[in-house]
Amino acid sequence: MTIPERVDQLAGRKRRRERPCGFDKAAYRRRNVVERCFHRLKQWRGIATRYDKHPDRYLAAITLASTLIWLDQ
């Protein structure tokens, strides 16, 4: 599990004597980076709306947007 549980959920598990879910902080950090990357890519209108229907053109648009985002950092 990579998303931390809320405090009330943890208390409920303890009350019902259920096994607590594991939380991996490093996995959560990596997942957050990927989600932020998708968010930045969706700022590009053509990618978010899948304007290009051809897979090669869509992949080219994602590659271009990813490169420009990487260079901007």
Model pLDDT for residues 7-29, shown as the tens digit of each residue = 787 788 777 777 766 777 888 88
pTM of the model: 0.58
Tell me if 23 sits within 8 A of 4, measured CB to CB: yes
Task: Give the three-state DSSP class for 5.
Answer: coil
> Domain residue spans in the chain?
1-38, 42-73
Residue 40, CA distances (Å) to 9, 13, 16, 28 in order: 31, 36, 41, 18
Ordered DSSP codes for 12-67: HHHHTTPPPPP--HHHHHHHHHHHHHHHHHTTSHHHHTT---SHHHHHHHHHHHHH
Average pLDDT taken over every residue of the chain: 83
